Amino acid sequence: MRSSLLVRVALIFVLASVLPLALAGFATIGLLQDAARRDAERRHDAIAELAGALVRDAVAGAGDRLTTVSRLLERELNERTPGGYGGWNEGHRATVAKRLDGLVEPADIYLELEYFAVDAQSDLVRGGGATGPARVEGARMFDYGSALAEGAASAGDDAIRSALVQGPIESHALCIAPAPEVRGGFASLGLSSPVSVEDRVVGVLLARYDLRRLEALLATVASDRYEVHLHAADGVEVATAGAVEGETVGRQRPVGSNGWTVEVHESAAAVYGPIDAVRRRALAWTGLAVVLALVLGVVTSVWIVRPVGVLTATAQRMEAGDLSARAGIDRTDEIGRLGAAFDRMAAALQRLDEAKGEFIGSVSHELRTPLTSIRLSIANVTDGVVGPVDERALRTLGRIQGDVDRLIDMVNALLEMARLDAGAVEPALEDTDLADLARRAVTTLSPLAEQRRVEVSVDGAGRARVDPALVHRVVVNLVDNAIKFGPDAGRVVVRVGEGTLSVADRGPGVDGDGLFEKFRQGRQDGVKHGGAGLGLALVRRIVELHGGAIDVAANDAPRGDDEPAREGEGPGAVFAVRFGQAT
């Protein structure tokens, strides 16, 4: 019970002190983690918005530059064809090509620059290539219709080229391709602008914007902490900047109405690293708090439970007959007051027991003389000293004499118990043959054994330093009980060893609870046997006086061939005595 109470008190202390703090700490960590996640999402949204703005501005700038080039080309055409549009000659084409070469600055903004004439009489000036800056050089000339067909067949991008050429003709405005294209290992974005003469579209200027320029722009926002990806509407990666190792967290935001998106990634360790550090610290502090709480809980539990254990042990000593036992709890709190009250109660019980012993001793001493006188008087009457007595009176006097003898035995037992309780008996220890002592005790009880036809035997050998007279009383009491409580024509065995002896019977068995208390007597078949119930109490006091102990258990020894089962037998009992000083 004590250990169970100690554990419960310690656990309650831990739960009451640590659990709320741990729950609050982890709830706070959860809130911090949510805050870190929301803060990272805001950062990623801001970076994605900035990257999207840079991409939109870059594409818009490329379109504006292409529009500017187309306006300059318009002026050139208007100057060359005043009052209307006319056919081109080879010199005029070279002049336009040279003019375009000077207009495209910086030269690496476009991977390719093409001009498509609308009139069938016009030439196509095509300059640059997919692997170098746009430079207008001598090239084949196509009219509008044949350029769409033949160009699509050679380039494999008829749909985009058709849309880029036809769009400015119909809208008279700048057109941007919905998706990038990869040619020759370079990603580019198609742009086209109309070229007009006297408000009539006479040609289309088509350019391939170099998307590698976007990576430099994205690098300015990615720095060394983020990883930024630009995706087209079809999911194709257009440009990327930065590199983040390990697990990442990120957000995706649209760039504009063309379906392009910017995806920003950041290292999860950078986002949640501080929170993880806080969590590790919280776990460490929580573990330390649990250890401290357990230590304090155990200390507090011991402080509470130890006096309870002392009270329990003291009560058990008193239950065993030591009424001098005291708890001795020196505290000023409620438990201390309880211990003081317990000690006062124990002192009162001891005084009461002493008073009872003195009373029993005094009464027994006072009874002994008249009882002895009565026994002598009855003996004189039955012997005919005072005159003849008839047979009927003799039978009555015999019963009276038996009762007087039992009273005298009871008084002697009470006086002996009183002397033992008072500590007036000092054993005269000597080296004793326990087997010989047991045989002499059995001989004393032979009349009773013969009366009930009980066979009493002594087995074994052994010696011990004991008081022979007192141990003789022990053996007599144990064998007497075995004969009285066992079946008729039964068997009692006294076994002797070094410093030990035991008495075994085949009686109804015994209940060990309170068996060795004073005035406690067993029952058999509901009939109370004669006696005061002091025999086993005397046995225990004598054994303890020799520094020994006595135990009782069921007789589970196997039955011998010469020991048949008899009517009225039970599980039996074995009283085992161990003396403190064996030789």
Number of independent structural domains in the chain:
4
Residue 410 sits in the same domain as residue 450: no
Asked if residue 248 is part of any domain, the answer here is no
* Parent domain of 99: 48-215
Final residue before a domain boundary, out of 198, 215, 232: 215
Residues 6+ apart with CB under 8 A from 399: none
pLDDT of residue 578: 92
Asked if residue 370 is part of any domain, the answer here is yes
Q: Is the dihedral of CA 550, 555, 558, 564 positive or negative?
A: positive
Residue 379 sits in the same domain as residue 284: no
Residue 11 sits in the same domain as residue 133: no
pLDDT of residue 526: 43
Residue 83 sits in the same domain as residue 58: yes
Write out pLDDT tens, residues 347-381.
Answer: 888 887 777 667 666 666 666 677 777 778 777 77
Final residue before a domain boundary, out of 306, 321, 356: 306
Asked if residue 482 is part of any domain, the answer here is yes
Q: Residue 253 CA to chain centroid, in angstroms? A: 45
- The runs of H, that is alpha helices, within 223-267 are none
Asked if residue 384 is part of any domain, the answer here is yes
Domain CATH code at residue 341: 1.10.287.130
Instruction: Centre a 10 Å sphere on the Cβ of residue 288 and count the other Cβ atoms it contains.
Output: 11
Question: For residues 545 and 425, is the Cβ–Cβ distance under 8 A?
Answer: yes
For every residue of 339-389, which 3-state class applies, written as one string?
HHHHHHHHHHHHHHHHHHHHHHHHHHHHHHHHHHHHHHHHHHHHCCCCCCC
> In b/e form, how buried is each residue of 362-400, taking b as 16+ CB within 10 angstroms?
eebeebbeebeebbeebeebbeeeeeeeeeeeeeebeee
77-86 long-range contacts, CB within 8 A, separation 24+? 77/195, 77/197, 77/202, 78/197, 78/198, 81/197, 84/197, 84/198, 85/119, 85/197, 85/198, 85/200, 85/202
Q: Is 552 helix (H, G, I), strand (E, B) or coil?
A: strand
Asked if residue 246 is part of any domain, the answer here is no
Residue 415 sits in the same domain as residue 440: no
Domain CATH code at residue 449: 3.30.565.10
Asked if residue 40 is part of any domain, the answer here is no
Final residue before a domain boundary, out of 401, 420, 439: 420
Exposure of 465 by Cβ count < 10 A (0-12 exposed, 13-18 middle, 19+ buried)? middle
Residue 55 sits in the same domain as residue 200: yes
Residue 360 sits in the same domain as residue 486: no
Asked if residue 253 is part of any domain, the answer here is no
Residue 142 sits in the same domain as residue 283: no
Instruction: Centre a 10 Å sphere on the Cβ of residue 419 and count the other Cβ atoms it contains.
Output: 14
Residue 168 sits in the same domain as residue 129: yes
Cα(211)–Cα(546) distance, integer angstroms: 109
Residue 443 sits in the same domain as residue 545: yes
Measure Cα distances from 283 to 18, 26, 34, 273, 290 in Å. 12, 9, 19, 15, 10
Residue 359 sits in the same domain as residue 299: no
pLDDT of residue 436: 92
Asked if residue 322 is part of any domain, the answer here is no
- Below-70 pLDDT ranges, the chain: 1-6, 77, 79-108, 118-160, 183-185, 257, 356-357, 359-368, 414-425, 511-514, 518-533, 557-569, 581-583
Instruction: Write out the E strands in 211-316.
Output: 226-231, 237-241, 248-254, 261-267
Cα(435)–Cα(458) distance, integer angstroms: 7
Residue 199 sits in the same domain as residue 52: yes
Write out pLDDT tens, residues 103-133.
Answer: 655 556 777 777 777 654 443 333 333 333 3
pLDDT of residue 518: 63
Task: Establish how many alpha carbons lie within 13 A of residue 352's alpha carbon, considering only the half-sphere containing its beta carbon.
Answer: 7
pLDDT of residue 108: 62
Exposure of 65 by Cβ count < 10 A (0-12 exposed, 13-18 middle, 19+ buried)? buried
Q: Residue 196 CA to chain centroid, in angstroms? A: 82
Instruction: Centre a 10 Å sphere on the Cβ of residue 248 and count the other Cβ atoms it contains.
Output: 16
